[in-house]
Amino acid sequence: QPGLVTVFCGRNYLYHPTLSSTNDQAKESARRGAPEGTTIVAEEQSGGRGRLGRSWHSPRGGLWFSVVLRPPLPPARAPEAVFVAAVAGVEALAAYPGVQVGLKWPNDFVWRGRKLGGILTEVTGELDQINHLVVGIGLNVNLDLQDFPPELRTGVTSVREITGGDVSRSELLRQLLAALEHWYLVWLKQGFTPVLAAWKRHNACLDRLLRVLTPEGELVGRAVDVDADGALLLATAGGVRRVVTGELQVEGD
């Protein structure tokens, strides 16, 4: 990766024309002792994975990559990494005129209510220590939505759709790795508070009416805040509810 301004993110860089999933490849490399910051990129993924066990459509033209991190933290704090990556992604994308992206809790990149990309973090570890944490980021960059299967087109957008042209994915990746390294170090040195504060500045759902599918059932309410642990606080008819995992649908989008 020429022009890289990072100290460790992307220094060990592995590019593949095709992979099943960059997250799986990164986990495998991590198991074999890959150094922190190892970055796996695939031109396309045949088995790209999304959150909540879903598949992730990953054709050529997108940016699909995963980074191996080894934060000296207990596994209970691993969910915070999603916020680290989300803030990094928003900041990197902000360099592109017109691509003012917001965050849909916890980890969707959205533009005018449409999804531009997402994050999938996976962790292994013991009780007291994370062994490795893989941060996978997928962004619809130089993609035409009419090439997507019809059932995957709704509520989705791409950088090409937004700007009307193509951007350099290697340049975007460099920006993303620089921002990821920056926010990762903020997280390690200063804790979750500044990361969460930055995340909140880009919260696209604040005060919006949401329908949230949680493992315990559906909730409807207004997003009032995100608490110190990163849980979504939803003001429902039955009072304020705390959501730890769930699928958000913004009313009116």
Indicate the annotated binding residues for biotin: 21-23, 45, 49-51, 115
Query: Can you say how many angstroms the Cα of residue 50 is from the centroid of all Cα atoms in its chain?
Result: 10
Give the residue among 52, 37, 46, 39 at the shortest CA–CA distance from 106.
52
By beta-carbon proximity to ligand BTN, the closer residue of 170 and 235 is 170
Whether residue 93 contacts residue 135, with contact meaning beta carbons closer than 8 Å, is answered with: no
Query: Closest separation between CB of residue 143 and ligand BTN, Å?
Result: 13
Query: Closest separation between CB of residue 133 and ligand BTN, Å?
Result: 13
Spatial separation of the C-alpha atoms in residues 45 and 48, rounded to whole Å = 5
Q: Residue number with the shortest CB distance to ligand BTN?
A: 118
Query: Closest separation between CB of residue 189 and ligand BTN, Å?
Result: 26
**Type of residue numbered 70:** R
> Which residues participate in the annotated binding site?
21-23, 45, 49-51, 115
Spatial separation of the C-alpha atoms in residues 174 and 217, rounded to whole Å = 40
By beta-carbon proximity to ligand BTN, the closer residue of 120 and 210 is 120
Give the residue among 127, 6, 124, 136 at the shortest CA–CA distance from 65.
136
Buried b / exposed e across 104-137, counting CB within 10 Å, b at 16+? bbbbbbbbeebbbbbbbbbbebeeeebebbbbbb
3-state SS track over 129-174: CEEEEEEEEEECCCCCHHHCCHHHCCCECCHHHHHCCCCCHHHHHH
Query: Closest separation between CB of residue 44 and ligand BTN, Å?
Result: 10
By beta-carbon proximity to ligand BTN, the closer residue of 161 and 235 is 161
Q: Which residues contact ligand BTN by CB under 6 A?
A: 21-23, 45, 48-51, 54, 56, 58, 64-66, 108, 118-120, 136-138
By beta-carbon proximity to ligand BTN, the closer residue of 103 and 234 is 103
By beta-carbon proximity to ligand BTN, the closer residue of 46 and 190 is 46
Taken in order 244, 137, 150, 142, the sign of the CA dihedral is: positive
By beta-carbon proximity to ligand BTN, the closer residue of 137 and 210 is 137
Q: Tokens in use for 202?
A: 């880009």
Query: Closest separation between CB of residue 8 and ligand BTN, Å?
Result: 19
Query: Closest separation between CB of residue 239 and ligand BTN, Å?
Result: 29
